[in-house]
């Protein structure tokens, strides 16, 4: 009975964590990217980078949760076929205005999301 309860609680924690992660990823604006570690930090645990990866791998709604906007700490896109092909993530990002370096990595100086919901909301706050 105790083992069953622990398993259920562990599952609930992951579901809750995944929802928190999805909520953060939804906020990344077009033209920006975030790292797995940054999403983990915003979710409340900077050691959750792998959990972020697991959550995005099981993304229940790719149309609303733009997991293609999450890259590794070097700005490297996923080498997997998670987005419909090896270069699909890059195509999606370039279509949103994300800039890539000659190395093939995202230009993190220009495109790293700072946690603000959008440039327009930042301007609105600065104008107050």
Q: If you count DSSP H runs as helices and E runs as strands, how many of each does the chain have, helices first?
A: 6, 2
Name the one residue in this structure whose structure tokens are 């992951």.
14
Cα distances (Å, whole numbers) of residue 45 to 1, 38, 128: 30, 10, 32
Contact between 24 and 36 (Cβ < 8 Å):
no
- Tokens read off for 8: 């259920």
CA proximity to 110, closest of 35, 32, 36, 37: 32
In the chain the first and final C-alpha atoms are separated, in Å, by: 56
Clarify whether 111 is annotated catalytic: no
Options 67, 71, 106, 111, the catalytic residue = 67
Which residues belong to the active site?
Answer: 67
């Amino acid at each position: 009975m105790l083992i069953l309860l622990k398993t259920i609680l562990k599952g609930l924690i992951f579901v809750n964590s995944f929802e928190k992660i999805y909520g953060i990823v939804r906020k990344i604006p077009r033209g920006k990217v975030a790292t797995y570690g940054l999403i983990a930090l915003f979710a409340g645990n900077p050691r959750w980078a792998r959990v972020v990866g697991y959550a995005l791998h099981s993304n229940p709604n790719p149309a609303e949760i733009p997991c293609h906007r999450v890259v590794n700490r070097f700005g490297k896109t996923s080498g997997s076929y998670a987005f419909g092909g090896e270069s699909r993530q890059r195509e999606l990002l370039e279509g949103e205005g994300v800039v890539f370096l000659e190395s093939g990595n995202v230009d993190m100086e220009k495109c790293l999301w700072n946690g603000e919901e959008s440039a327009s909301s930042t301007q609105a706050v600065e104008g107050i």
